[in-house]
Amino acid sequence: MITKETMDLNQQAIENVVKQKIVEIAGQLGEDASELQNDDIIPATGLIDSAGLLELIAWYEDFYQIRLAQEEITIDNLGTLSTMAEFVLRKKGLV
Amino acid sequence: MAVSIHVPRVNNNDDEVKLISLRVAVGDSITRGHLIAEVETDKAIVEVEAPNDGFVLGVLGSVDDTLTVGSILLWLGERPDEPVPSLKAPSAPSSQGAVGQPTAKARQLLKEHNLEASAVPASGNRLTAEDVERYINSRNQRASASQTRPAEMPPEVEGQLRDLRSEERGMLATVTWHRDVAVAGYIELEYDPAPWEIYAKAFTEKHKLLLNPLLSLMSWRLVTLAQQSPILNATIVGNQRYEYSAVNLGFTVQAGETLYLTVIRHAEALDEIGFVNAMGDVQRRAAVHKLGPLEIQGTTISFSSMARWKVSRHIPILPPRTAIMIAHAVSTDGRSVLGASYDHRVLNGSHVVTVLRKLSKPKDRE
């Protein structure tokens, strides 16, 4: 199991961990998100609803220890697995 | 002058909280925003911060104590040698003394309810009408709850009596206010969701939002309607209607097993995108149980949606001292419904139908 202490901070690793979380949330709603691709627009897939997205963002902030301003919660920054991974790296000054 | 810092309400349904950490001691010099303590209920933890700079004069609780919401937790003074106004037990009602002069509205309310200012806890340097309202409400809830305790004799069928948890006691008090104080009615109408969906989609694209703003936009519409019709944002005090100065929009958020009524205070002072962002922010922190006490109390009008659960109807319990709560639902067959629980002492059916019709479409479609 990946924890805050054991996580890798690189693009692919972050994409994989975020996808795992989306699969978990979608599963609670009776959806299968295992086929989600890195460039799929997450809200447009219909795999998780608004409350699920809210749960995802709250988890993302806590897990990666980044503080999001409400204005940063946009499609451009967090719309896909790829952009979510890039955003973590950018916030932590790793790119 | 010494000011009192009170035990915050963590959850709308909890009248007691547990003190889990105390970060200051008598004599400490602290600054505004300094973390004083953390309190918790079964489901959430809230940090208590200093409202201003000062010296800790007295602390009325110890770690692991169960404290009554609204009782004094700590005294803060301008000088370290100021006398402490009172150091009685934190749970004793008589210790909840106000330290500042009541405002004019507060004095009027105190007089109407035959209350002494010293009996009512102040949330700031002065005792406000809101403090008095909160105290009266809490007192009414306690009285109502005590009237609804199980009968002395249990039912004939064999069973066991169990004590209620604090949040269960709080819910009992709230529903009892709804039943015994408000004269609650319910009205609903079906509406065409297309105009709202088009509006929300355009808003999402314009601001490149990740989260669907539909319910926030509908809530914002309710705020603007409350501004236009103050009777919507009101309650009854004695034989008079009390119209709130601020529109404090309450919005229900289910976080795990905890149901929060999150509150955007002074919503009327925001613009549309400012309100949507404020709603997103408070909902996000509700999801991880990190809400400040002012974000879960003081609602004056509210909105609740069960669209996620695809129910065709839900009739919400009115938050105490409010006149209306909107109930939004979308059933499995796509039927969209707007309903409202309302206090018939404040509003009549015509008021409610009017607000529901206006709320059923964005302002630009009026």
Instruction: For residues B88-113, give the mean pLDDT.
Output: 61
DSSP secondary structure of B223-245 = HHHHHH-GGGSEEEETTEEEE-S
Task: Tell me if B67 sits within 8 A of B73, measured CB to CB.
Answer: yes
Write out the two tokens for B48: 């208590």
Residue B146 has pLDDT above 80, yes or no: no
Q: Tell me the Cα Rg of chain A.
A: 12
**β partners of residue B19:** B39
Highest-scoring range by mean pLDDT, B57-71, B77-91, B190-204: B190-204
**Number of Cα atoms under 13 Å in the Cβ half of residue B133:** 19
pTM of this prediction exceeds 0.90: no
Overall average pLDDT of the B185-201 stretch? 96
Which pLDDT tens digit goes with each residue over B211-229? Answer: 999 999 999 999 999 999 9
Query: Can you give the pLDDT at residue B167?
Result: 57
Burial class of B254 by CB neighbour count within 10 A (0 to 12, 13 to 18, 19+): middle
**Two structure tokens written together for B204:** 């999402």
Whether residues A58 and B287 touch (CB distance < 8 A) is answered with yes
pLDDT higher than 90, residue A50: no
pLDDT band at B275 (very low <50, low <70, confident <90, very high): very high
The reported pLDDT for the residue numbered B90 is 40
- How high is the pLDDT of residue A1? 63
Q: Which residues of A touch B211 (CB under 8 A)?
A: 43, 50, 53-54, 57, 73
- Does A70 contact chain B (CB < 8 Å)? yes
Q: Report the C-alpha gap between B44 and B57 in whole angstroms.
A: 28
Distance in Å, alpha carbon of B278 to nearest chain A alpha carbon: 8
| Whole-Å CA distances, B187 to B292, B304, B332, B338, B341 | 33, 14, 21, 9, 7
- pLDDT at residue B85 is higher than 80: no
Q: What is the DSSP string of B197-227?
A: HHHHHHHHHHHTBSS--HHHHHHHHHHHHHH
What is residue B143's predicted lDDT score, i.e. its pLDDT? 59
AA identity, residue B57: L
- List the one residue out of B357, B362, B351, B251 whose CA is nearest residue B299: B251
Mean pLDDT confidence for B94-118: 69
> For residue B152, is pLDDT > 90?
no
SS in 3 state form for A10-27? CHHHHHHHHHHHHHHHHH
The single-letter code of the amino acid at B60 is L
Q: Kindly report the nearest CA distance between residue B6 and chain A, in angstroms.
A: 29
Hey, CA dihedral for B269, B273, B277, B283, is it positive or negative? positive
pLDDT digits (tens, 9 = 90+) for B292-305: 878 888 899 999 99
Chain mean pLDDT for chain B: 85
Q: Residue B122 has which token pair?
A: 């102040």
Quick one: pLDDT at residue B366?
64
* B62 confidence band (pLDDT: 50, 70, 90): confident
The closest CB to that of B208, out of A49, A70, A76, belongs to A76
pLDDT digits (tens, 9 = 90+) for B323-343: 999 999 998 888 999 999 999
Tell me the percentage of chain B whose pLDDT exceeds 70: 89
State percent of chain A over pLDDT 90.
68
Interface contact flag, A50 B210, Cβ < 8 Å: no
Tokens at residue B54, please? 């000062």
Q: pLDDT at position B89, please?
A: 40
Give the SS3 label for residue A23: helix
More confident site: B82 or B145: B82
Look at residue B97 in the predicted model and tell me its pLDDT: 37
pLDDT of residue B144: 56
In the predicted structure, residue B168 carries a pLDDT above the cut 90: no
Are A73 and B280 within 8 A, CB to CB?
A: yes
Contact B211 A54 (CB under 8 A): yes
Q: Which of A58, A71, A74 sits opposite B284 (nearest CB)?
A: A58
